[in-house]
A and B are shown apart, each in its own frame.
Chain A
């Protein structure tokens, strides 16, 4: 995607600046952009290392397994067809628990495993099953307790209160997830049939 977007950005802004005679600003920002990328990375380094370390501890404990117990009632509502499939439900809840804790690196492999298990019981192998649709939508909703990257960026820009956005983020995430789940349920109903 960036292979298309990036050159478009460069071509448009460089030619616009040359034609409008805005070259001094352009030249300044070329050098400034590399400097700000370096300083952002240095500022991010500390917070990201700290979180990777904390999350490494979390991934070595049974915290994820324990979280999955709380998710069970929710899972039965979201995935009615998997009600009696303990194995897949476990894989899905492990993925969700990892996402909630912000363990992105652990969540993706767990999620792919769940997708493969769901494919095994999928009747139409070339089409997403109902459960897969719901699972993907939940994964795109970004449900996590601590938005670590954003906090790191805010911290690097000298925010007075880098964590002040945590609560607003919860509200926005939960409502986004609910909207995603409702629309997914509707889409699942509407696309039942041969055509899809």
Chain B
């Protein structure tokens, strides 16, 4: 497992180093470029804040009212057959539909189950390995005004399901 930890921790420094080296090689005002990008980061964060407030309200109250617990309790006998933690079900459902919605749900799960717990790791891995499928399909098909999409959704959702299943298995193995 040491090699896995090593690869995980070396990835980010390597990418940053590679990009900075490239930047130095090809451009001299590298820090100015960095600042331009970092300013964009402020805009991005501020622009998702209202969405996060709205979604944290919806998901927080869903939890505190007891509805989430009820849903999880109803679904868990089925999910137990597949050895899938029922806490993750809301994330699995929301992930293909809404990007900011799934960020809110994943954060909620990580906070309540522990960010370094197995479930927290699975939630993280699901977030990293899947995409907001419905949004992506909508953007790419609507730009060329295509009407017949030939069951593309089936293939894209199959990838999401595979990503969720593999995330669940691999995090349980590593733990």
The SS class assigned to the B binding surface is: helix
Q: A131 — which chain B residues lie within 8 A by C-beta? A: none
> How far, in angstroms, from A177 to B158 measured CA to CA in the complex?
9
25 A-B contact pairs sorted by A residue (CB < 8 Å): A9-B59, A9-B62, A22-B64, A37-B53, A41-B46, A50-B41, A52-B40, A63-B19, A101-B15, A112-B140, A112-B143, A119-B144, A126-B148, A140-B133, A140-B160, A151-B12, A165-B128, A169-B129, A172-B125, A176-B130, A183-B154, A187-B154, A187-B155, A188-B150, A196-B148
Shortest distance in angstroms between B151's beta carbon and chain A's nearest beta carbon? 5
If A48-B44, A165-B128, A175-B163 touch, does A128 touch B149 (CB 8 Å cutoff)? yes
CB distance B67 to A12 under 8 Å? yes
CB distance A153 to B159 under 8 Å? no
Closest to A120 in B: B144
If A13-B65, A180-B155, A183-B158 touch, does A1 touch B98 (CB 8 Å cutoff)? yes
The interface bits of chain A over 3-15 (1 if a CB of B lies within 8 angstroms of the residue's CB, else 0) are 0011001101110
> How far, in angstroms, from A112 to B143 measured CA to CA in the complex?
7
CB distance A133 to B37 under 8 Å? no
Chain A CB count within 10 A is highest, among B4, B8, B139, for: B8
CB distance A150 to B37 under 8 Å? no
The SS class assigned to the A binding surface is: helix
> How far, in angstroms, from A6 to B52 measured CA to CA in the complex?
12
Question: What residues of chain B have their CB less than 8 Å away from a CB belonging to chain A?
Answer: 4-5, 7-9, 11-12, 15-16, 18-20, 22-23, 25-27, 30, 33-42, 44-46, 48-49, 52-67, 70, 94, 97-98, 100-101, 103, 106-107, 110-111, 115-116, 120-121, 124-131, 133-134, 136-137, 139-141, 143-152, 154-156, 158-163, 166-167, 170-171, 174
Residue total for A at the interface (Cβ-Cβ under 8 A) = 104
> How far, in angstroms, from A101 to B161 measured CA to CA in the complex?
23
CB distance A40 to B52 under 8 Å? yes
Contact of A168 among B19, B55, B110, B125 (CB under 8 A): B125
Interface set, chain A 1-39, CB cutoff 8 A to B: 1-2, 5-6, 9-10, 12-14, 16-17, 20, 22, 25-26, 28-30, 32-34, 36-38
